[in-house]
Amino acid sequence: MIAVDTNILVYAHRKDSPWHEKSSNLVRQLAEGDRPWAIPWPCAHEFLAIVTHAKIYRPPSPLAIALGQLESWMESPGLVMIGEPEGYWSEFRDMAVLGKILGGAVHDARIAAICRAHGVQELWSADRDFSRFPRQKVRNPLI
């Protein structure tokens, strides 16, 4: 299963992103495909926080449009929304220790641990910070 990180979702949604077309096509292929794919719940929340933020985007996406975008992806029959399952804490703790994470990297460790706990084979992200977690395969599909 492939999981999609926040930045790919943001680029797929925001037409003003230089990576919009490629990201949009990638997410569409997942959504229309016959294989399961995932969005971690923290990425869904972060997506909403970013695209509706007036200091990040001018104009920001209206909340109704951003919610509609998420709901559109959620209509994909193969989509699995993933969160912290039983056993998550030990996976997170291992990622935190092995990655020597501090500060903002805690959020990335949370996403990586959720993905590992759900058996995600590959996390798609343009964020190089995920390289701190070698136990979770991460690939930037935009390059």
Q: Which domains does the chain have, with CATH numbers?
A: 2-139 (3.40.50.1010)
Q: What is the predicted pLDDT for the residue at 15?
A: 96
Region for residue 101 given its phi and psi (left: phi exceeds 0; alpha: psi -120 to 50; beta: otherwise): beta
**pLDDT over 70, % of the chain:** 100
Chain-centre distance for alpha carbon 63: 19
What's the distance, CA 128 to chain centroid? 13
Over 90: is that where the pLDDT of 19 sits?
Answer: yes
- Asked if residue 104 has pLDDT above 90, the reply is no
Give me the mean pLDDT over the 11-40 stretch: 97
